[in-house]
């Protein structure tokens, strides 16, 4: 088998039928361009949602869960008896994490942990005129919060240092501030569920770009919340942990759950809806891309088949003059590969262009998400995958017609 | 005198000997067509062809002469009996082995020229040479020019082959058949589609290569003048050889 002649013949065949070659190529091009746009966009959405979820929520959160589903005393003592306990109330207990600050210090010393922020959070009402607006106050050490969530970059107005220097200060979420009609410098009265009240001064407004956070949360100093709910300075309700690698959060969370008798929640559990959406989009992308490539493959198959039928006389002559079955397969396979490869390259270019246009197209998601344009992920991997898919599809689509060409009996054709 | 006579005899003997080398040997060839009904096309065909011989096979349409030629060409492999070319048994070899063999040892000229239309005249002639891969491309090109000059087509070397007339295409096809210096050149009605002037030109080329290069020529033809100009005529009828042509020469 001599690949150089096979290549020359294949090249001549392609160049003499430029139109047909172009049509076959465009089939691949379209399939791959769409594949790239689809996968870039879908992965862009996935990444965007995951990033905003990961950014705004702790990788691992430790808190005390107050539940009422504890077994009644009589059931523990007399498990086999006929016990009827109706409407058992939860035990009165505090939502505190005992020794929270010590635990935080211990966790912070682990090498895979980026930072720990102990918090006291409580439900409050913001009183605006006579209307109480519900929300959450998170009592934090703002510098730790900065380390975990890069809070300073999310400030719409004011600075985080202002909170540190003002013991009555509060940083409000953007949507909450708008709802309450508050700006930096304004004062707001809050009432806790236990009845305590405090007058807070707005020192800043932040936005995470996530509605559920921006609409309800306010950051204050830890001591202020402890004072508001009349608890001591060691009263901690939540530990927020950020890992250096988010993927480490799941095993690390399991380890913490064994270590401490508190509820440990990792980001994957907290954001199950986002991860489920990601899975569905993944399957959708795969199905649509696969369909596109199969359609392109059938296009090439048809054209190659036609090509073989048109060239049946030439194949007979080549065979008569000493070209073997393998040479004939090589001639037609090379044509398929060239069509596939050029089509794939063109597809990559068009796919990139379309993705780029999509990525600069304005997109208004309202208050739900902070986003200006469609999220598109540019990753070399998808382009390589596209080319690979394209070439493999054309190889398969070209193989069967080539095989048929190799089986042509020259005697039948030459005798006429 | 006697010595000189002996010498003369010796030369004669040698000449006879070299002529006696069989380049093609067919033994007991039988072939059947199974469609639409089983039918015996070739019946027990046995013959030999000598080196440098210009052989024509004649006979009425349907007597099996073309079928026989395609068996001799190794392209048709469904037959009984044995075929030997250049002392090599070819029966039972694989298609790819036979293709390689054809490439090196056999040249073909068909009735309807059958050049590759997308390629230039030169490329058409060069292809089997490139396939053989015995010489570098430059040398194959040189040889192709040489063969084209032999058939007086060298001036058209760079034209696309589809732009040539029928007679010109046939001459290019002959040049292509010669490119690898095959032992045997086979023709299936090489002049069947040509006018008288072109037929004569093709005949002259065949005559020339058989005489000067010692290449064997086997053609199937309907053209009595063409056949008569050769060394030997095999006549077929109803799938059998009815005359081996030796008798006529004597």
DSSP A343-366: HHHHHHHHHHHHHHHHHTSB---T
CB atoms within 10 A of CB A379: 15
For the segment A393-398, the average pLDDT, to the nearest whole number, is: 84
- Tokens 């090489």 label which residue? B190
CB-nearest to B176 from A9, A13, A321 is: A321
Higher pLDDT, B3 or A103: A103
pLDDT band at A221 (very low <50, low <70, confident <90, very high): very high
pLDDT of residue A302: 85
The region of weakest confidence among A149-153, A190-194, A214-218, A350-354 is: A149-153
For the segment B12-41, the average pLDDT, to the nearest whole number, is: 71
Are B131 and A323 inside 8 Å of each other by CB? Answer: yes
Q: Kindly state whether residue B127 falls inside one of the protein's structural domains.
A: yes
Q: What is the pTM of this model?
A: 0.71
pLDDT of residue A349: 94
pLDDT of residue A71: 75
Angle CA B61–B101–B124, to nearest 5 = 75
pLDDT of residue A354: 93
Which chain B residues touch A5 with a CB distance below 8 Å? 127, 130-131
Q: What is the pLDDT of residues A344-395, one digit of tens each?
A: 899 999 999 999 998 888 887 665 566 778 888 888 888 888 888 888 888 8
Residues A304 and A401: beta-carbon distance below 8 Å: yes
The region of weakest confidence among A87-96, A338-347, B133-142 is: A87-96
pLDDT of residue B135: 81
Q: What is the pLDDT of residues B211-224, one digit of tens each?
A: 888 888 888 888 88
C-alpha span between B102 and B86 (Å, rounded) = 12
C-alpha span between B169 and B201 (Å, rounded) = 12
- For residue A331, CA distances in Å to A122, A387, B133 come to 75, 21, 17
pLDDT band at A190 (very low <50, low <70, confident <90, very high): very high
- Return the structure tokens found at A279: 């899975």
Q: What is the pLDDT of residues A317-332, one digit of tens each?
A: 888 888 888 888 888 8
Give the ipTM.
0.81
As for how many domains chain B has, the answer is 1
Q: Kindly state whether residue B21 falls inside one of the protein's structural domains.
A: no
pLDDT of residue A355: 92
CB-nearest to A321 from B76, B108, B119 is: B108
Are B103 and A323 inside 8 Å of each other by CB? Answer: yes
Q: Kindly state whether residue B9 falls inside one of the protein's structural domains.
A: no
pLDDT of residue A208: 83
Q: Is A260 helix (H, G, I), strand (E, B) or coil?
A: coil
Q: Which positions in chain B have a beta carbon within 8 angstroms of at least one beta carbon in chain A?
A: 66, 70, 73, 75-76, 95-96, 99-104, 108, 110-112, 114-119, 123, 127-128, 130-133, 176, 180, 188
Domain ranges of chain A: 3-54+274-414, 60-69+93-268
Are A411 and B119 inside 8 Å of each other by CB? Answer: no
pLDDT of residue B50: 82
Are B176 and A16 inside 8 Å of each other by CB? Answer: no
State the count of interchain CB pairs (< 8 A) between A and B.
74
Mutate to test the interface with A, among B35, B106, B118 (most CBs of A within 10 A): B118
C-alpha span between A235 and B77 (Å, rounded) = 96
Which chain B residues touch A406 with a CB distance below 8 Å? none
Domain that holds residue B129: 51-79+90-249
Which chain A residues touch B71 with a CB distance below 8 Å? none
pLDDT greater than 50 at residue B13: no
C-alpha span between B21 and A71 (Å, rounded) = 110
Which chain B residues touch A2 with a CB distance below 8 Å? 130-131, 133
DSSP A64-87: ----S-PPPHHHHH-TTS-----S
Which chain A residues touch B95 with a CB distance below 8 Å? 324-325
For the segment A271-296, the average pLDDT, to the nearest whole number, is: 83
- Return the structure tokens found at B143: 């040889």
Q: Kindly state whether residue B196 falls inside one of the protein's structural domains.
A: yes
Distance from the Cα of residue A179 to its chain's centroid: 30
CA distance B13 to chain A (A): 36
Q: What is the pLDDT of residues B45-70, one digit of tens each?
A: 888 888 888 888 888 887 888 888 88
The region of weakest confidence among A42-51, A86-95, A181-190 is: A86-95
Q: What is the pLDDT of residues A121-174, one digit of tens each?
A: 899 999 888 888 999 999 998 888 888 888 888 888 888 888 888 889 999 998
Mutate to test the interface with A, among B69, B76, B99, B181 (most CBs of A within 10 A): B99
Average per-residue pLDDT in chain A?
Answer: 85
Q: Kindly state whether residue B70 falls inside one of the protein's structural domains.
A: yes
pLDDT of residue A205: 92
Which residue in chain A is spatially nearest to B126 when comparing CA positions? A5
Higher pLDDT, A416 or A5: A5
Beta strand residue intervals within A25-143, DSSP E:
60-63, 113-128, 131-140
pLDDT greater than 50 at residue B2: no
CA dihedral of residues A302, A304, A305, A309 (deg, nearest 10): 140
pLDDT band at B14 (very low <50, low <70, confident <90, very high): very low
* Share of residues in chain A with pLDDT > 70 (%): 97
C-alpha span between A164 and B25 (Å, rounded) = 108
- The CATH number covering residue B137 comes to 3.40.50.300
pLDDT of residue B161: 83
pLDDT of residue A366: 64
* Share of residues in chain B with pLDDT > 70 (%): 90
C-alpha span between A371 and B207 (Å, rounded) = 86
Tell me A88's DSSP state. P
pLDDT greater than 80 at residue B92: no
CA distance B242 to chain A (A): 24
Q: Hey, what long-range contacts does B243-247 have (CB within 8 A, 24 or more apart)?
A: B244/B47, B245/B55
Which chain A residues touch B127 with a CB distance below 8 Å? 5, 9, 318, 321
């Amino acid at each position: 088998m001599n690949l150089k002649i096979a290549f020359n013949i294949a090249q001549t065949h392609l160049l003499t039928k430029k139109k047909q070659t172009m049509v076959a190529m465009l089939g691949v091009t379209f399939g791959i361009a769409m594949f790239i746009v689809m996968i870039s966009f879908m992965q862009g959405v996935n990444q965007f949602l995951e990033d905003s979820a990961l950014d705004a929520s702790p990788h691992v959160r430790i808190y005390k869960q107050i539940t009422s589903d504890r077994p009644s005393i009589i059931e523990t003592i007399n498990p086999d008896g006929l016990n009827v306990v109706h409407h058992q109330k939860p035990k009165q207990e505090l939502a505190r994490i005992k020794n929270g600050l010590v635990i935080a210090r211990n966790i912070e010393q682990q090498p895979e942990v980026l930072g720990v922020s102990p918090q006291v959070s409580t439900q409050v009402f913001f009183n605006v005129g006579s209307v109480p607006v519900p929300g959450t106050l998170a009592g934090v050490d703002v510098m730790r919060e900065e380390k975990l969530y890069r809070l300073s970059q999310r400030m719409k107005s004011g600075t985080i240092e202002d909170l540190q220097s003002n013991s009555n200060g509060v940083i409000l979420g953007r949507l909450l501030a708008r709802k309450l009609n508050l700006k930096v410098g304004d004062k707001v009265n809050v009432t806790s569920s236990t009845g305590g009240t405090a007058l807070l001064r707005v020192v800043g407004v932040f936005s995470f770009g996530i509605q559920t956070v921006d609409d309800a949360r306010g950051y204050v100093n830890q001591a202020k919340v402890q004072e508001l709910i009349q608890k001591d300075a060691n009263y901690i309700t939540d530990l927020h942990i950020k890992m250096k690698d988010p993927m480490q959060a799941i095993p690390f969370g399991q380890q913490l759950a064994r270590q401490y008798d508190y509820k440990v929640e990792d980001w994957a559990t907290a954001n199950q809806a986002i991860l489920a959406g990601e899975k569905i989009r993944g399957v959708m992308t795969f199905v649509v891309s696969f369909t596109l490539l199969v359609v392109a493959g059938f296009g090439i198959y048809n054209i190659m088949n036609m090509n073989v039928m048109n060239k049946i006389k030439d194949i007979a002559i080549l065979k008569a003059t000493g070209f073997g079955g393998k040479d004939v397969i090589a001639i037609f396979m090379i044509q398929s590969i060239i069509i596939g490869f050029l089509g794939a390259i063109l597809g990559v270019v068009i796919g990139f262009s379309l993705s780029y246009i999509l990525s600069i197209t304005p997109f208004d998601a309202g208050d739900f998400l902070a986003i200006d344009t469609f999220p598109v992920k540019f990753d070399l991997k998808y382009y390589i995958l596209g080319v690979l898919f394209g070439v493999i599809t054309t190889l398969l689509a070209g193989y069967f017609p080539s095989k048929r060409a190799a089986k042509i009996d020259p005697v039948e054709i030459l005798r006429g | 005198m006697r010595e000189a006579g002996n010498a003369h005899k010796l030369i004669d003997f040698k000449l006879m000997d070299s002529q006696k080398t069989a380049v093609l040997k067919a033994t007991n060839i039988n072939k059947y067509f199974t469609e639409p009904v089983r039918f015996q096309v070739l019946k027990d065909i046995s013959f030999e062809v000598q080196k440098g011989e210009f052989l024509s096979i004649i006979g009425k349409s349907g007597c099996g002469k073309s079928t026989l030629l395609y068996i001799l060409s190794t392209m048709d492999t469904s037959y009984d009996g044995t075929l030997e070319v250049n002392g090599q048994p070819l029966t039972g070899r694989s298609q790819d082995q036979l293709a390689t063999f054809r490439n090196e040892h056999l040249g073909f000229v068909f009735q309807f020229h059958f050049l590759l239309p997308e390629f230039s005249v030169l490329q058409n002639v060069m292809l089997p040479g490139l396939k053989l891969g015995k010489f570098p491309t430059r040398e194959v090109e040189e040889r192709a020019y040489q063969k084209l000059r032999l058939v007086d087509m060298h001036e058209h070397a760079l034209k696309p082959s589809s732009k040539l007339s029928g007679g010109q295409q046939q001459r290019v096809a002959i040049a292509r058949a010669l490119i690898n210096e095959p032992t045997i050149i086979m023709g299936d009605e090489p002049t069947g589609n040509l006018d008288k002037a072109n037929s004569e030109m093709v005949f002259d080329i065949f005559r020339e290569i058989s005489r000067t290069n010692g290449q064997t020529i086997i053609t199937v033809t309907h053209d009595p003048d063409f056949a008569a100009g050769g060394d030997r005529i095999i006549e077929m009828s109803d799938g059998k050889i009815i005359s081996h042509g030796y008798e006529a020469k004597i």
